[in-house]
Amino acid sequence: MPRRLVVVPVALLAVLAGLVVASCGGGGGSDKVSGVQAVDANCGGVEYHGSGEPSKLIVSDLPLQGDSAERSKQMNDAIVQEMARKGWQAGTKTQVAFQACDDSLASTGEWDENLCRSNAQAYAANPDVIGVIGTYNSGCAAIEIPVLNEAPSGGLAMVSPGNTFVCLTEPGSICKPNEPDVYYPSGKRNYIRVVPNDAVQMAGLATFAKEQGIRNPYVLVAAGDPTSKGQADTFEGAARSLGMNIAGVEQWNQKAKSYTDLMQKAKASGADAVLLAGLLEQNGAQIIKDKVSVLGPNDGPVKLLAPDGFAQQNTIDQAGSATKGMYASLPGKVPSSLTGEGADFVNELKSQVGGEPLELFAPYAGQAAEVLLPAIQSGNGTRSGTIASLFKTHVTDGIVGSFSITPSGDPSPAPISVSQAEDTFVLSKTITPPPQLVAAARGD
Flag whether pLDDT at 24 surpasses 70.
Answer: no
Q: Are residues 182 and 203 in the same domain?
A: no
pLDDT of residue 189: 98
Q: Are residues 241 and 254 in the same domain?
A: yes
Q: Are residues 135 and 209 in the same domain?
A: no
Average pLDDT over residues 350-360: 85
Residue 35 — pLDDT band, cuts 50, 70, 90?
confident
Of 29 and 350, the one with more pLDDT: 350
Model confidence over 231-273: pLDDT tens digits? 999 999 999 999 999 999 999 999 999 999 999 999 999 999 9
* Diameter of the chain measured on Cα atoms: 67
pLDDT of residue 31: 55
Q: Are residues 321 and 348 in the same domain?
A: no
Whether 1 is in a domain gets the answer no
Q: Are residues 137 and 78 in the same domain?
A: yes
Model confidence over 178-230: pLDDT tens digits? 999 999 999 999 999 999 999 999 999 999 999 999 999 999 999 998 889 99
Model confidence over 120-138: pLDDT tens digits? 999 999 999 999 999 999 9
Weakest mean pLDDT among 15-29, 138-152, 287-301, 345-359: 15-29
Q: Are residues 229 and 213 in the same domain?
A: yes
Cα separation of 217 and 305, whole Å? 9
Edge-first strand listing for the sheet containing 394-398: 394-398, 401-405, 411-412
Query: Chain centroid to CA 259: how far?
Result: 27
Whether 347 is in a domain gets the answer yes
Average pLDDT over residues 381-386: 98
pLDDT of residue 12: 36
Nearest to 202 by CA among 164, 251, 235, 169: 235
99 - beta bridge partners? Answer: 46, 59
Whether 5 is in a domain gets the answer no
Average pLDDT over residues 260-288: 97
Provide the whole-model pTM. Answer: 0.85
Nearest to 101 by CA among 61, 53, 57: 61
pLDDT of residue 19: 39
Count of beta carbons in the 10 Å neighbourhood of residue 430: 16
Average pLDDT over residues 33-39: 85
Residue 344: phi, psi to the nearest 5? -65, -45
Count the alpha carbons within 13 Å of 35 in the hemisphere toward its beta carbon.
15
Q: Are residues 229 and 92 in the same domain?
A: no
Whether 3 is in a domain gets the answer no
Whether 4 is in a domain gets the answer no
Flag whether pLDDT at 52 surpasses 50.
Answer: yes
Residue 68 — pLDDT band, cuts 50, 70, 90?
confident
Q: Are residues 269 and 361 in the same domain?
A: no
Model confidence over 408-438: pLDDT tens digits? 999 999 999 999 999 999 999 999 999 999 9
Flag whether pLDDT at 13 surpasses 80.
Answer: no
Range of the domain at 131: 10-196+336-412
pLDDT of residue 2: 31
Most confident of 9-23, 58-72, 351-365: 58-72
Residue 6 — pLDDT band, cuts 50, 70, 90?
very low
Mean of all residue pLDDT scores within the chain: 91
Weakest mean pLDDT among 280-294, 300-314, 344-358: 344-358
Of 441 and 25, the one with more pLDDT: 441
Average pLDDT over residues 64-92: 95
Q: Are residues 16 and 160 in the same domain?
A: yes
Residue 32 — pLDDT band, cuts 50, 70, 90?
low
Cα separation of 292 and 313, whole Å? 19
Q: Are residues 182 and 318 in the same domain?
A: no
Average pLDDT over residues 83-96: 95
pLDDT of residue 25: 40
Residue 176: phi, psi to the nearest 5? -70, 155
Q: Are residues 281 and 368 in the same domain?
A: no
Residue 210 belongs to domain with CATH number: 3.40.50.2300
Of 256 and 360, the one with more pLDDT: 256
Model confidence over 391-406: pLDDT tens digits? 999 999 999 999 999 9
Tallying the residues shown for the chain, one arrives at: 444
Residue type (1 letter), 29 = G
Identify whether the C-beta of residue 207 lies closer than 8 Å to the C-beta of residue 175.
no
Residue type (1 letter), 222 = A
Number of folded domains in the chain? 2
